[in-house]
A and B are shown apart, each in its own frame.
Chain A
């Protein structure tokens, strides 16, 4: 009932819109939270997007947010805004399943650092969202690879929502929450964001504490925001970023200490210099190609765009070897106990055995070549404000299609393996629709610690387009 009172359009609003409504008295945080809870409970299961709804905790936090605002105490732009986290992030008193049946009853007695920071900023945790089992690190080959079932895309429920942050992708797109926190080891934020038509940020490695989040690959895991605008990604990042003693990889880099920040907000340079990988726009799916060409034309109105070829380095083998080796150590007990057989995807039950056999010297050499990759990418990027390209070479696959059948048909140069190996940031924003009415994404990748450059450019793109303002009929 409250949901209909508040109105669907409001629930698809950005964090900035929702905050304005709260402060202008259009609705309270309790009303907003109840409206999102109703959608999470009604639509969430239809999209296989929700692991747990944290109703009681949400109601309590929303009441507190309203009382504080009424008393003139405002914690900032996230105050009173409902959000959710991927279910590999610990929330005290609720199961944290990592999307995997062997961990179905797992609980932790402390909130993850990101949850603590969002709580402190007054945000309201409403749910834990679906994840591909073990963040997709076991080598799944099709959408049905989660305890909660295959993530369904709100734009076309016959398509996948992407992985491994499946729930955050579809829940943000379908207006089930104000924003979400996802995780990326290799592609797990940008892929579901692109497939579901939302804005998703992969921060620099070390920018956001992973304390309390499942470890798949200690040297590659990142947590980041998935939102309905690039600006929202900045607002959320501003709260969750920063050094944390509980995560030794977290770093003390001031987010706003950047030539891309003005008055505390990201700002695109007047005439940005962008770079595109040579060969982009040749082998992608037709819809992706057309939308990228159109986006590039728009960017050319205010940017200088050059083309570059990446140095010949084994980006994919390095990222893959590091992830397989670290995941093998992280989940050795799961394999040894035989409980790996309880995973949902048949291939996830088998592939981890092979992962146990990465040679130590190959892992170490991957880490040595990784340094060369970091330097090579930094050298390419340092003459530019960002690299731009299609986030994925296709739209989301049909729910039943095996990845190799669908994605294997298309290609094109990708920065994904290199960017994740190098730990550099990237943001994807929607740039149109392709095959089967599904969204496509445009990605801006920047140098380490230059999130503001990528976000500022994405904000400028969104200022000139309305793709991020279009929402699925749910």
Chain B
């Protein structure tokens, strides 16, 4: 665990309050999920754009928290969010390159057939 940060698992409410980026929306089934941009407390797509930040960072951060929240502190999550924003920015920059449907990836799959008849 990161020595210099809090390692206690976060409650969902603490996370929302301290990270200041997401809001909780309880579902009828009782399973809380984090609202994505546009929900209460979260940046609208317009706000995200104004902050020069591709939308979706908080949804992906919530996925990280769902999978690994027990291992992470608030400070950790804030740093992870920066990384996610970086991933999304890189994706946005890549999308600026015009691609035709026929532009294949630089990965080649080959059919396999073992030895024998």
Contacts and interface: CB of A to CB of B under 8 A. Distances in A.
Do chains A and B stick together as partners? yes
Interface of A: 139, 219, 313-314, 316-318, 320-321, 324, 335-336, 338, 341, 346-347, 349-351, 353-359, 361-362, 364-372, 374
Contacts of B106: 219, 367-368, 370-371, 374
A335 B107 contact: no
Contacts of A368: 99, 103-106
Contacts of B113: none
B80 A350 contact: yes
A314 B64 contact: no
B94 A358 contact: no
A364 B91 CA distance: 10
A364 B99 CA distance: 12
Interface in B68-94: 68, 71-72, 76, 79-84, 86-91, 93-94
B97 A354 contact: no
Nearest to B68: A353
Contacts of B89: 317
Given A317-B90, A346-B4, A359-B91, A367 B105 contact: yes
Contact of A369 (B79, B84, B86, B97): B97
Contact of B64 (A139, A349, A356): A356
Contacts of B82: 354
A370 B68 CA distance: 32
Contact of B99 (A314, A346, A349, A369): A369
Contacts of A341: 1-2, 71
Contacts of B83: 139, 350-351, 353-355, 357
Contacts of A314: 90, 93-94, 96-97
Given A338-B71, A341-B1, A369-B94, A354 B87 contact: yes
B84 A357 contact: yes
Contacts of A324: 87
Contact of A371 (B63, B71, B95, B105): B105
20 contacts: A314-B93, A317-B89, A317-B93, A320-B90, A321-B90, A341-B1, A341-B71, A351-B80, A354-B81, A355-B83, A357-B61, A358-B87, A361-B91, A362-B87, A362-B91, A362-B95, A365-B94, A365-B95, A365-B99, A367-B106
B115 interface: no
A317 B1 CA distance: 29
Contacts of B10: none
Given A317-B93, A341-B2, A369-B99, A219 B79 contact: no
Interface residues of B, number: 36
Q: Which residue of A336, A356, A359 has the most chain B CB atoms within 10 A of its CB atom?
A: A356
B60 to A, nearest CB: 4
A316 B94 CA distance: 10
B52 interface: no
Given A317-B93, A318-B94, A371-B105, 5 more contacts: A314-B97, A350-B76, A353-B72, A354-B84, A362-B90
Contacts of A336: 67-68
B23 to A, nearest CB: 20
A346 to B, nearest CB: 6
Interface string B21-48: 0000000000000000000000000000
B111 to A, nearest CB: 14
A262 B28 CA distance: 76
B101 to A, nearest CB: 10
Given A341-B2, A346-B3, A365 B104 contact: no
Give the top 6 A-B pairs by smallest Cβ distance, nearest first: A354-B83, A367-B105, A362-B91, A317-B90, A357-B60, A317-B93
B73 to A, nearest CB: 9
Given A341-B1, A370-B106, A354 B71 contact: no
B90 A350 contact: no
Contacts of B67: 336, 356
A341 B73 CA distance: 12
Nearest to B97: A369
Contacts of A369: 94, 97, 99
Given A317-B94, A349-B2, A369-B97, A364 B80 contact: no
A206 to B, nearest CB: 12
Interface string B44-56: 0000000000000
Given A314-B90, A366-B94, A372-B97, A357 B104 contact: no
B53 to A, nearest CB: 14
Contacts of B60: 357
A374 B105 CA distance: 12
B48 to A, nearest CB: 16
A296 to B, nearest CB: 31
A347 B80 CA distance: 10
Contacts of B1: 338, 341, 349
Contacts of B81: 354
A351 B79 contact: yes
A356 B61 CA distance: 10
Nearest to B99: A368
Contact of B91 (A321, A346, A350, A374): A321
